[in-house]
Amino acid sequence: MDLLLRLSARIALAGATVVFVSIFVFVAMRLGPVDPAILLAGDTASEEDVAAIRRSLGLGQSWLTQYLRWAGLIFTGEFGRSIYSGRPVLEMIGQRVEPTALIAAATLAVSAAAGAGFGLFAALHRGRFVDRAVMAGSVIGFSVPVFVLGYGLILVFSMGLGWFPVQGYTSFENDPSRALRSLVLPVATLTPVYLSIIARITRASALEIVRADHVRTAIAKGLGPLPVAFRHVLLNASLPIVTAIGAGFAMLIGGTVVTETVFSIPGIGRLLVDAVLRRDYPTIQGIILILSGIYILVNLAVDLAYVVIDPRVKL
């Protein structure tokens, strides 16, 4: 019962956070210097034309009225319509989910597995060449900007070797093979940053566990190196690793926006960039609110994972 109450409180807090984010995004969009009605009207439009567009879009109403109308749409399962295309925002986002979800999922899986492996290996060989190489590689991987690495991979593997498409994306439904090939470079662009964070945190956490009494006891009993590494070291060092995975999710979202722009992938990140350039309020608000909601859910899942991994942890 106590666990359910704490879980309910965390869910309520997550809901309040989403409401705060929605208010912040709504206000921030309207503090910009560019009026979307002017962009739609064009340079030759008169003031009457601009005013008519503002009335048709509801931009002449008070901010409170506009926000309440938008919030009402969200509660009915809608996010409004795009100012420019007139299409439902949720429909536009749904058509862009596939490449973004695949890039994020593949990056998360590769980074978590490889990062934890490299970090654990470095901790078990502390002070040796392997340890220094892993740490040096993590510094480089974290330091290189995503767009620089992306253009470098395009130059070498697309334009130079011709192994992968330069830009664009083909859906799995149309051509699964080409879809996979078009995802390789974007995932390779995002992975180093995320992998580096997980590797460093895994190493730091595992170093404390390696010196623990139960690990020395397991080694003294003749337990093999792999069971010791995974069962006694990695498992007990997993809480900080799970934290790194959840905390790095925001960085992964930001990296996806840049990566989709570099590789011209029609994902949610590219849709967000286009909407910002056009001052498309409903589309920007819908995308940011959905991404924020996903991030909040990921952090809630991380908190629940703490309880599963270590029952001593309380929500």
Domain chopping of the chain, boundaries:
2-75, 96-309
pTM of the entire predicted model: 0.76
As a whole-number percent, the residues of the chain with pLDDT over 70 amount to 74
- Render pLDDT for 211-258 as a digit per residue (tens, 0 to 9): 666 666 666 655 556 666 666 566 666 677 777 777 777 677 777 778
> For 36-69, what is each residue's pLDDT tens digit?
666 555 556 566 656 666 666 666 667 777 777 7
Q: Is the pLDDT of residue 113 over 80?
A: yes
pLDDT for residue 295: 80
pLDDT attached to residue 233 = 66
Confidence of residue 33 (pLDDT cuts 50, 70, 90): low
Q: Look at residue 312 in the predicted model and tell me its pLDDT.
A: 57
pLDDT of residue 228: 63
What distance lies between CA 128 and its chain's CA centroid? Answer: 34
Q: How far apart are CA 100 and CA 21, in angstroms?
A: 22
Distance (Å) of CA 95 to CA 98, 166, 185: 7, 22, 22
Specify the range with the lowest mean pLDDT, choosing from 114-123, 243-252, 260-269, 289-298.
Answer: 243-252
Q: How confident is the model at residue 287 (pLDDT cuts 50, 70, 90)?
A: confident
> 122 vs 56, which has greater pLDDT?
122
Position 188 scores a pLDDT of 86
- Name the residue with tokens 């048709």: 56
Q: What is the pLDDT of residue 243?
A: 77
Answer whether residue 189 shows pLDDT above 60. Answer: yes
Residue 1 has pLDDT above 60, yes or no: no
If one looks up domain 96-309 in CATH, what number appears?
A: 1.10.3720.10
The answer to whether residue 116 scores a pLDDT higher than 70 is: yes
What's the pLDDT band for 286 if we cut at 50, 70, 90?
confident
* Helix/strand/coil percentages in the chain, nearest 5: 75, 0, 25
Least-confidence region, from 1-10, 104-113, 145-154:
1-10
- Under DSSP, the state recorded for 125 is T
Residue 158 CB coordination number (10 Å): 16
Q: Which residue has the higher pLDDT, 264 or 46?
A: 264
Q: Can you tell me the distance from the alpha carbon of 48 to that of 278, in angstroms, rounded to the nearest whole number?
A: 21
Q: What pLDDT is stored for residue 309 in this prediction?
A: 63
User: Which is more confident, 61 or 3?
Assistant: 61
Distance, C-alpha 222 to centroid of its chain: 43
C-alpha count within 13 angstroms, C-beta hemisphere, residue 94: 7
- Mean pLDDT score, 151-155: 85
pLDDT band at 182 (very low <50, low <70, confident <90, very high): confident
